Amino acid sequence: MEKLRWQSEEELPTKYLYMNIPDSQLFAIENGRVQLQMRTVVGIKTWQTPIFTDEVEYLIINPKWNVPPKILQKEMLPKIQKGHAFLANENYQVRKRENGQFVLVNPNTVDWSQAKPADFQISQKSGRGNALGRIKFIFPNPFDVYLHDTPQKSLFKKDVRTFSHGCIRIERPLELAQYLLRDADSANKSWDEAKIKEAIASENEQTIPLRENVPIMIRYRTAWVDEQGNVNLRPDVYDFDAKLAKMLRY
């Protein structure tokens, strides 16, 4: 109740995406009706998915994954130092800073025991096994967070789905792409399911802008009443409610 007192009534757009972090589900809503619903995977407690509002501007088919510097420093570099064979096996490319520029190098030529994260850029080629899957949905923001496909489909079966580094993995990216692109047009041909699958099969990275940006709202609510009058409760995955309750006691 205390959080609701702080939140002003939001004026909802006609068409928007809504994702509640504790619920870990994404909804596409249009004219007050749910058009699409799917499970999501959100950030773990130490890599939290941020709460904000933005607009989806475009999507990328067969995206590359540029490993963020923080992940490179905290997770990937320690893993590489134990053995870097996985880089080639999982289609990673390594660039090293030389004379002020990053140039492509063979991982076998690098002394990883002395490597500094700031001197390297690592990216994963697009295609099968890519960490971002086959489609990512971009709403430019200072958190570098986006929606994306994933090869780890089994995580969607879990009740609590906090496994990512902050980005939002979605259960049915092809359906979301169809929904967002249904009004798009390229060379007088709509982006239907067949055309999206054709683009994926090409293995080429391709950026597709939306005809109109679609708002996306990312919220954090552990309790709410749905349209049927049912009370819904979700776990306080980031301990926000617990911290608030502690503050209110003093």
pLDDT in tens, 97-146: 999 999 999 999 999 999 999 999 999 999 989 999 999 999 999 999 99
DSSP conformational letter for 75: I
Q: Please give the model's pTM, rounded to 2 decimal places.
A: 0.90
We find that the CATH architecture of domain 2-63+133-248 is: Beta Barrel (2.40)
Alpha carbon distance 46, 166 (integer Å): 9
User: Would you state the structure tokens that stand for residue 76, as one six-digit string?
Assistant: 């990937």
Asked if residues 147 and 176 have their Cβ atoms less than 8 Å apart, the reply is: yes
Q: Are strands 15-20 and 25-30 parallel, antiparallel or unpaired?
A: antiparallel
Taking the domains of the chain in order of start, what are their residue ranges? Answer: 2-63+133-248, 65-124
* pLDDT given for residue 5 in this prediction: 44
- The closest of 21, 24, 28, 23 to 56, measured between CA atoms, is 28
User: Would you state the structure tokens that stand for residue 58, as one six-digit string?
Assistant: 């475009």
Q: Which residue type is seen at 164?
A: S
Question: Residue 177 belongs to what H/E stretch?
Answer: helix 173-181
Question: Residue 98 belongs to what H/E stretch?
Answer: strand 92-98
Per-residue pLDDT of the chain (250 residues; tens, 9 = 90+): 445 444 455 678 999 999 999 999 999 999 999 999 999 999 999 999 999 999 999 999 999 999 999 999 999 999 999 999 999 999 999 999 999 999 999 999 999 999 999 999 999 999 989 999 999 999 999 999 999 999 999 999 999 999 999 999 999 999 999 999 986 554 445 788 999 999 999 999 999 999 999 999 999 999 988 888 889 999 999 998 777 767 666 5
* pLDDT given for residue 227 in this prediction: 81
